[in-house]
Amino acid sequence: ITGKRNGLLGLKSYSLSDSLSLFCPAPCPSLPGAYDEYSSCSGSSRAAGMNGNGPGNLVDPLEDPVPGLGTYEDFNTIDWVREKSKDRDRHREITNKSRQSTVALLHSVSDAFSGWLLMLLVGLMSGALAGGIDIAAHWLTDMKDGVCLIGFWFNHEHCCWTSNETTFQERDRCPQWQSWAELITGTSEGAFAYIVNYVMYIFWALLFSFLAVILVRAFAPYACGSGIPEIKTILSGFIIRGYLGKWTLIIKTITLVLAVSSGLSLGKEGPLVHVACCCANILCHLFTKYRKNEAKRREVLSAAAAVGVSVAFGAPIGGVLFSLEEVSYYFPLKTLWRSFFAALVAAFTLRSINPFGNSRLVLFYVEFHAPWHLVELGPFILLGIFGGLWGALFIRANIAWCRRRKSTRLGHYPVIEVLVVAALTAVIAYPNSYTRMSGAELISELFNDCSLLDSSQLCGYKQVSCAEEPGELKPIDYPYWCECKQTLCLIRKPVCPIRNHSVYYPSRFPSGLFIPSMAVGAIAGRLLGVGMEQLAYYNHDWFIFKGWCSPGADCITPGLYAMVGAAACLGGVTRMTVSLVVHHVRADWRLEYIVPLMAATMTSKWVADAFGREGIYEAHIRLNGYPFLEPKEEFEHSSLAVDVMRPRRSDPALAVLTQEGMTVGEVEVRIQKSTHYSGFPVVVSQESQRLVGFVLRRDLLISIDNARKRQEGVVSASQVVFTEHAPAQAAEAPPPLRLRGIMDLSPFTVTDHTPMDITVDIFRKLGLRQCLVTHNGRLLGIITKKDILKHMAQIANRDPDSILFN
C-alpha cells in the first residue's frame, strides 16, 4: 500500500471519491417499479480537495464559496473521510472561539447539546406517531366487523368498556357495538346476516388496500415495503433523495394504517423503522451540523433505527442492539449512548399514549409462571431447526417472486395485484376467527399461558370426555382433557394455516415481515408445546418426566414454545441473534427463559446459514442492485488489485488530466464530449503518468462555469493548472485558471500486487468509493466499489450486471 504513513494500515490522509464507476457511461440501468423515475446516474459532488497541509483543509479555487461544491447528487455515495474531516475542523474552530468570548462559549455548549436535543425530538415524534398508528390500525381493523353506536371513533374493545352487559366468556359482546348485519338487517343471526358481514368484511379489506396502493403510487413511491434494506444502504453512505423525506413520512404513516387494517399477512414493525428514520432526517434540518454533514446525519439515522424497533416491540435495549447488529454501518460509542436515550424517550412516549389499553408497550405481553426443564431443550432445538428451514425457504420463495414480478408483466399492474391478493386473503380469512384477527392479536393468543382467569378459546381445557355428552362442561380443576385434545381442536378450528407472506414483502405499500414470521413460528411452537404437554400429562411416569412432573400438574407451558418458535422463525428470516433474544425476553422479563431463546435462535441461524448466508434484507439489497459491501460476507478469492482494476487490457487507455498544459476548452471537451467519466486522475504529464491527485468531473464543471461568470479573462484558451504556482506564460495570454483547491492531493492508492481481500477489507472499514492503482508511483488504473461488487458477483457465479447503482 502506497501513500503517506500514519499508522492505520500504513495510511495517512485519503479521501473517498465517487462510488460511481469512472469508466461507466453516465446513464445506467434503472430499477423497475418505484425507481423508474431515476433512470440515470450522475457523479457525486466533491466540495473541495485536501491541500498539502493535511486532511480537512478545504481550499476554494476562487477564494470564495462556490455554490454546488460540497453537496452530493442522487444515487451516489458520500465521502466519509471528507465529511468526518469537515466535522473535526468545525468542532476545532468552535472550541478555539469558545475561549475568546462568552457568546462563543454559549455557542459551543449549545452545539454540544444539540445532539441530545435532536435525540429527544426524534424519540418524542416517533413515539407519538407509533402510538397514533397503533390506535388507528386497531380502530380500522374492528371497523371491518362493525361500528360503535356511542361513537364511531371507538374500536370494539373501547366501545364495550363501559357496558355492564358483558360476560367473562364473551367480554366483547355488548349492545353498544353492532355488526354490519345488525345495522343493515336488524339481526345478527342466520345465513343472510352471515353473508352480509362476510361481504362487508371483503369490501372494507378491498377499500383499505386500494387506498393504500393508490396513495403510495400517486404521492410517495418510496413508501412501499418495509424500508429496512434501503435504510441499511443509506447508512452505508449511499444517497437516495426523497426516501426519508416529508412526503414519504406522511404517506407511509397513513398507508401503514390502511395496509395493516386490510387484513393482509404483514406487520407494521419493519415500516416503523423507516418512519423513525424519516422523522430523524426531517428533524436534522433544524440543526446546522447535521444538515450540512452527511456522516453526522447517518449517526442520527442509526439512532433512529433503534427508536423504530423500540416503539415496535417496546424494547429500547433490543432496539439499540438491532441497530448495532443489523442495520448500522458506522456506529461509534457516542451513537450508542444517544441511541439508547432516544429509544428510551420513544418508549416512554408510547407508554404515555397507552395505545393497547393494557399499560404495556406491546400487545403480546405475557407472564409465564412455570419453569422450563432440561428435557425441553430438545424440542426447543427442534423449533430452531424448523425456524432455520422456514427462513431459508421463505427467502428463496420471496426473492423468486420479486424477481418474477420485476421481469414479467405482473409488475405492470400493481393495483390489480394488490386487490386480487387482498380479496383472496379476505375470502379465506373471514370464516376463521383466528385468521381474521390481526397478526399481533394472533401472536398474543398463541403466547397465552392459559391461567384460570383466561377466556381464550385456545385454553379450552374444560373439554368433554369421549364417553360424555357434548356440551357437558367439567369442573375448572378437571385435569385437562381426554381424546378430544387441544391439538385436534386447534387443527379443526383451524388455527394452523401458515399464511404465505412471501407475496407481500416487499409489496406495493408499507409491509413488514416481523409479525408474519413470528406468527408462523408461534403456531408451530404452540402445536409442539401442546403435544409435549399431552405427552407429559399421560406419560408422567416416563423416566424423562420423573422427578419434576407430578400427575395432574402443569409441567409444560405451550405459550413458551410459541414464543421460542416465533424467535426461531424470525431469526431464520433475518439472521438476527442477540437483539432478537432481547426482543423476546422483554415479552416476559424473566431471564430464566433466555436459554431456550438463545438455543433456538442460534440453531435457526446455523441451519439457515447452511442454505445461504444472506438474510432477507441482504437478499433484497442484492436484488435491487444497491452498492452495499456486506460486512458479514468473507472474500476468499486469491485475486490481486491488477485483476480487478480498470481499464482492462482490451479497454481504452485511462483518461487523465495533466497538472499543467491543458486549456479550459480542452478540459471541457474531455469532461463533456470525450468521456462520461465522473472523475479524473491528475498526473504530471501524459508521458510520465506520475500521480498528482484526483478531481471530480462535477467539481470541474461547477468551478469552470463559476470562473467564466465571476473571473475576468477566463476563456477557452486559458490554461488550467493544478500546481501551487502558475507557470510563466506570454504577456498577451489570458489569465490561467487555478483549480488546485478542488483536487484531492492525497487520493487513496494501492499497488497492483495488493491482494483483493485486503483491498475489500479497506473499502469496508474506511467506506471508500474508489482507490487508484499504481506501480512504482506510476498510475495504472482505478478500482471502484462497483468493480469490487461485480468481481464478487462473478466469483459467486452471479450476474455482475445486477449491480445497477454505483
* pLDDT of 653 higher than 90: no
Count CA atoms within 13 Å of residue 226 on its CB side.
27
> How far apart are alpha carbons 264 and 414 in whole angstroms?
15
pTM of the model: 0.82
- The span from the CA of 520 to the CA of 563, in Å, is 11
Q: At residue 496, does pLDDT exceed 50?
A: no
Identify the pLDDT of residue 589. 55
Q: Residue 480: is it exposed, middle or buried by C-beta count within 10 angstroms (0-12/13-18/19+)?
A: middle
Write down the pLDDT at residue 46. Answer: 35
Task: Please tell me the predicted confidence (pLDDT) of residue 222.
Answer: 92
Q: Going by C-beta distance under 8 Å and a sequence separation of 6 or more, which residues neighbour residue 341?
A: 116, 119, 120, 123
What is the model's pLDDT at position 406? 82
Read off the pLDDT of each residue in 138-162 and give the average, rounded to a whole number.
86
Burial readout 598-637 (b: 16 or more C-beta within 10 A, e: otherwise): bbbbbbbbebbbeeeebbbbbbbbbbbbbbbbbeeeebeb
Torsion of CA 433, 434, 436, 439, to 10 degrees: 160
Report residue 736 as a C-alpha cell.
Answer: 490561467
Task: Tell me whether residue 579 is exposed, middle or buried, using C-beta atoms within 10 angstroms of its C-beta: 0 to 12, 13 to 18, 19 or more.
Answer: buried
Taking residues 417-427, report their average pLDDT: 91
pLDDT band at 797 (very low <50, low <70, confident <90, very high): confident
What does the DSSP assignment read for 30-56? PPSGGGTT-----PPP----B-TT-TT
Question: What pLDDT, in 10s, does the model give residues 188-239?
Answer: 888 899 999 999 999 999 999 999 999 999 999 999 888 999 999 999 889 9
User: Does residue 48 surpass a pLDDT of 70?
Assistant: no
pLDDT value at 551 more than 90: no
Flag whether pLDDT at 44 surpasses 70.
Answer: no
Q: Residue 492's pLDDT band (boundaries 50, 70, 90)?
A: very low
Kindly report the length of the chain: 806
Q: What are the pLDDT digits (tens) for 577-622?
A: 888 888 776 655 567 788 899 999 999 999 999 998 889 999 999 8
Beta pairing partners, 77: 238
Q: Give me the pLDDT at residue 41, please.
A: 35
- Name the pLDDT band for 804 (thresholds 50, 70, 90): low
In Å, what is the CA distance from 275 to each residue of 125, 361, 791?
Answer: 10, 18, 35
Q: Which helix (H) or strand (E) holds 784?
A: strand 778-784
Q: For the chain, what percent of residues have pLDDT higher than 70?
A: 80
How is residue 351 annotated by DSSP? H
What's the CA gap between 433 and 493, in Å, rounded?
9
**How does residue 458 score in pLDDT terms, banded at 50, 70 and 90?**
confident
**Comparison of pLDDT for 157 and 136, the residue scoring more:** 136
Taking 50 as the threshold, does the pLDDT of residue 498 lie above it? no
672: which DSSP letter?
I
Beta bridge partners of 770: 784
| The pLDDT value given to residue 571 | 92
Q: CA angle 514-519-522, nearest 5°?
A: 120
To 5 degrees, how large is the angle CA 681–CA 685–CA 689? 60
Locate 78 and state its grid cell: 458520500
pLDDT in tens, 318-338: 899 999 988 988 888 889 999
Contact status, residue 678 vs residue 686, Cβ threshold 8 Å: no
Instruction: Look at residue 314 in the predicted model and tell me its pLDDT.
Output: 82
Which residue type sits at 209? S
Cβ atoms of 343 and 307 within 8 Å: the answer is yes
Contact 348, 122 (CB under 8 A): no
pLDDT score of 171? 62
pLDDT at 302: 94
Mean pLDDT of the chain: 79
The 8-class DSSP code of residue 473 comes to P
3-state secondary structure 195-254: HHHHHHHHHHHHHHHHHHHHHHHHHCHHHCECCHHHHHHHHCCECCCCCCCHHHHHHHHH
* pLDDT 10s digits, 227-279: 999 999 999 889 999 999 999 999 999 999 999 999 888 888 889 999 999 99
* φ and ψ of 779, to 5 deg: -70, 130
Domains of the chain: 108-353 (1.10.3080.10), 374-407+439-457+480-624 (1.10.3080.10), 641-803 (3.10.580.20)
Mean pLDDT, rounded, for 644-657:
85
pLDDT of the residue at 583 = 72
Say how far apart CA 391 and CA 609 lie, in whole Å.
10
C-alpha closest to that of 204 among 374, 426, 45? 426
Segment 459-468 mean pLDDT = 46
